[in-house]
Structure 1
Amino acid sequence: MKKSIFKTVILISALVLAAAPVFSQAKRTQSKQTQQQRQPQTQIKRTPSTAQKKTTSTQSYWDGAPAVLKETPFKFEGGTGTLKDPYLIKTAEQLNSVRFGLSKHYKLIADIDLSKWGNWIPLGGTPAYGGSWIKKYPQAADAGCGEFTGSFDGNGHVISGMTIIDHNDDIFMGEAEATRAYALFGAIFPENNSFIRNLGVVNYTIDISHTKMKYNCDLRVAAISNYAAGLIVENCYTSGGKIKVHTGRAGNQTSRVYVMAGGMFTEIEDSRITNCYNSSPIIITTSDTDYMNYNYTTTTRQLGELRSARAGGIAMQMMYTHITGCMNAGEVTVPYANFGYGNSLAGGIVGKVVCLGQQLIHG
């Protein structure tokens, strides 16, 4: 079966639930508390002794990781970090310093060029691209990860040239169960109706290739964030970039590999997205054709359930979320995206929708 390509076609798989939303605020709070209790002790923090240092590299724990953690001074052009008086960001170094104050509020006052930065680490993520808030047991690659709980006002400016390239036979620090997240931000759990607004992410490259994977792994890829809940997103766009993911397996390994990609977000829950668009392509390929392209015989169905590729122009999946006045003009390419025959999904706006019926896509 040929791969399916969608540009502006919306593929919605709506799951109408009779009960209250499963992913409630209480559940999210419980998940956050559980993660904090189980988080490894190696933390990415700003301390007074390093606050005045120039840009440096701190990589001891992460030797061999695909990215280098750079410490930058926690100094900005102005502001106090509150919602009414956000920190003002003018440089790439100041943008990087957001990771040392994930609960604060920020505003761009200039375009940010990341083209010479090297591999970008998601804000709240790690050099190994760990940072999964959702996993039951933290992995070595998650050490020091955090969640962005503040707000970010692009103020009409763009972040350009973000580069994330991870080409390895297998994931770095691979363990029995793993998640790898590639985006500008890691997980976003804003408080008090915080937001991301008036932001453009342009001319970026996210290129992931793992050809001999041995471990069970979720690969979560997006331009802005791999997961957001309770977020207001307004007047944002992603353009001129490219998301590319390729996977394969090591020999006869039967590891589970799920690829989830969104133009702006991988998953977004209990949120509102208004007047946003994506015009960058998402391309997922795989050498696991015998796994991905399965039918309903018992053996091949079991193999196929070990592989999944899902993508959407705005988000791979939205749950209990309103999307209004949004558009996708980017190509979405997913292997064997034929709903009902495999775990592959592709959609122009969203790959999969979980809703109560009234929470849909408008305009």
Structure 2
Amino acid sequence: MANGLFGGGDGTELSPFIVEDAQDLDAVRNNSSASYKQTKSIDLSVYPNWIPLGDINNNNKFSGSYDGSDLTIDNLTISSTSGSLGLFNNCHSGKIKNVNIKNANISAANFQEVGVLAGTLTNTQITECTVSGKVQVLGFFNTVGGLAGVITGTSVIKQSAVINSEIKGKYVGGFVGNFTGKLIENCYVTGKVTGYSDNGSSQVSGFAENMRYGDIVNCYVSAELTFEHANEYAALQSPFANNQGGTITSCYSDIENKGVEYWKPLFSYSENTIAKGTDDELYRCIRMQDAKDYNAGYPFPPNYPAQPISGQNWATYWQLADIHEARNTAQMQTKSNYVDWDFDNIWTIEEGKSYPIFKLKRAIKKCTRVPLTNYRR
């Protein structure tokens, strides 16, 4: 137990500081540009309200490297009403790999970027990281993702996952809230993603909410999408991503169970939202309702109570949605449906029973030949 003094190393890439316990992990904040290597699993329950590493307000963003060695960081707990929240606050030009965060519990409110690994990732490389737990962000405005609230700049995220987690926020994606980074590749989300609003609308996407540019390749979602609104207000729902300018390639979302919510009669849907009709087909809202449908109880147009996906005039407002990412459960559990995915080196699947998961890493140890001396028969 190093108790905040590290178990060795000098912080260089060749000799990183050795992180052995919760106090060592907390001490990472004292040198945000150094290199670190975790050598033991860590329980953060000794910190009932973790202060994220790296402080964007004090220009102390994490720009170093952290190797979690495929060990775990358990019981990350945060309760805050300000700042970017996660294990890390803001990573800028950093490198994080082999980190596994379990049983996270983050609660926040208003004007925040929140994710289990980090609030914001800028020009950062993330490789082979997983997170699980619960994120709940209430209030008027927030950007929330399972892995990170915001991913931007030249950031590249590979082989990482949000597993069996509950993610709730106003503008929320299962993996990332706002993506304007370079690349997300070979990643997945399972669990539940909820658009929450106590005042106004919300937007929810299974993987990425508000994707403006960048590439997402070979990723999938198997998550329940829901809304919790104090009043039945405007809602924007996307099974995989609210894509406004990026490129999505060979990505899929299971929409058979609760991957997309059914149309609700009192909701006022935003243009381009996706909803499920009573025939279980997916429909896209192609225009807002006319002024004659406007409910004066709502404070501002153009959010009008939604016309149903049925009846005489439904086609004026809804059309069948051609979403190439949408799949049913049987398709999601069939290897051949994953176009150009690497099942030799990255993924494995038990067909008909499970979704793809990452192959287990096997440590390869080199054998050193020891010369036989003074050998006696």
TM-score over 0.5 for the pair:
yes
TM-score by length of 2: 0.54
Aligned alpha-carbon RMSD (Å):
2.5
> Cα gap change, 1:231/1:361 in structure 2, threshold over 3 Å: closer, same or farther?
farther
Match of 1:118 in 2: 48
Deviations 1:71-130 (A, max 9, x none): x74x211111112221110010000000000110111001110012220000123xxxxx
Amino acid at match of 1:276: S
Pick which of 350-359 and 108-117 moved more: 350-359
Match of residue 266 from structure 1: 149
Provide the residue aligned with 2:118 in structure 1: 225
Contact 2:92 2:122 in 1 (8 A): yes
Q: Does structure 2 conserve the Cα–Cα contact (< 8 Å) formed by 1:115 and 1:162?
A: yes
CA contact (8 A) 2:10 2:16 kept: yes
Identify the match of residue 176 of structure 2 among 307, 315, 321. 315
Q: In 2 relative to 1, CA 229–361 (structure 1 residues): closer, same or farther, beyond 3 Å?
A: farther
Equivalent residue for 1:80? 10
Greater Rg, structure 1 or structure 2? 2
CA distance in 1, matches of 2:26, 2:181: 31
- Residue 168 of structure 2 aligns with which residue? 283
Which residue matches 1:243? 135
Which residue is equivalent to 1:37? none
Letter paired with 2:167: I
- Residue 110 to residue 324, structure 1, CA distance change in 2 (3 Å): same
Instruction: Confirm whether residue 205 of structure 1 aligns to residue 105 of structure 2.
Output: yes
Return closer, same or farther for 1:147/1:87 CA change in 2, 3 Å cut-off: same
**Judging changes above 3 Å, is the alpha-carbon distance between structure 1 residues 245 and 275 closer, same or farther for their aligned structure 2 residues?**
same
How many aligned residue pairs are there?
Answer: 218
- Is there any run of 5+ residues in structure 2 with no aligned partner, and where? 215-244, 252-377
Give secondary structure in 2 for the equivalent of 1:244: strand
Deviation at 1:359, TM superposition (A): 5.2
Deviations 1:216-257 (A, max 9, x none): x51221101111111111111112x1011222xxxxxxxxx3
Gap change, CA 1:333 and 1:222, over 3 Å in 2 = same
The 1-side partners of 2:67 and 2:201 are apart by: 36
Please list, as runs of the form range in 1=range in 2, the aligned pairs for 1:48-63 lying within 5 A after superposition: none
Kept in 1, the 8 Å contact 2:83–2:89? The answer is no
Residues in 1 aligned to 2:250 and 2:143: alpha-carbon distance in whole angstroms: 23
Matched, 1:160 2:74: yes
Q: Distance in 2 between matches of 1:150 and 1:362?
A: 32
Higher relative contact order (CA 8 A, sep 6+): 1
Q: Are 1:102 and 2:36 an aligned pair?
A: no
Query: Residue 195 in 1 paired to residue 98 in 2?
Result: no
Q: Specify which of 171, 191, 195 is matched with residue 330 of structure 1.
A: 191
Contact 2:114–2:120 (CA under 8 A) maintained in structure 1: no
Could you list the per-position Cα deviations for residues 261-319 of structure 1 after superposition, in whole angstroms to 9, with x for gaps in the alignment? 110111111211111110211123xxxxxxxxxxxxxxxxxxxxxxxx21111111111
Cα gap change, 1:362 to 1:163, in 2 (>3 Å)? same
In structure 2, which of residues 84, 100, 110 is the aligned counterpart of residue 181 of structure 1? 84
Gaps of 5+ in 1: 1-54, 56-71, 126-130, 132-141, 172-178, 210-216, 248-256, 285-308, 337-341
In the alignment, what sits opposite 2:362? none
**Other structure's SS at 1:115 match:** helix
Greater helix share, 1 or 2?
1
Check conservation: 1:322, 1:359, Cα contact below 8 A. no
Assess if the C-alpha contact under 8 Å between 1:160 and 1:203 holds in 2: yes
- Write the distance in 2 (CA, Å) between the matches of 1:221 and 1:185: 10
Q: Equivalents in 2 of 1:359, 1:233: separation in Å?
A: 20
| Deviation, structure 1 residue 322 | 1.0
Residue in structure 2 matching 1:345, options 187, 203, 213:
203
Specify whether residues 106 and 218 from structure 1 end up closer, same or farther in structure 2 by C-alpha distance, changes over 3 A only.
Answer: same
The answer to whether the Cα contact below 8 Å between 1:320 and 1:359 also exists between their aligned partners in 2 is no
Aligned to 2:328: none
Letter in 1 for 2:88: F
**Is contact 1:324–1:361 with CA below 8 Å preserved after alignment?**
no
Q: Distance in 1 between matches of 2:134 and 2:179?
A: 21
Q: Residue 323 of structure 1 contacts residue 360 of structure 1 at CA under 8 Å; is this kept in 2?
A: no
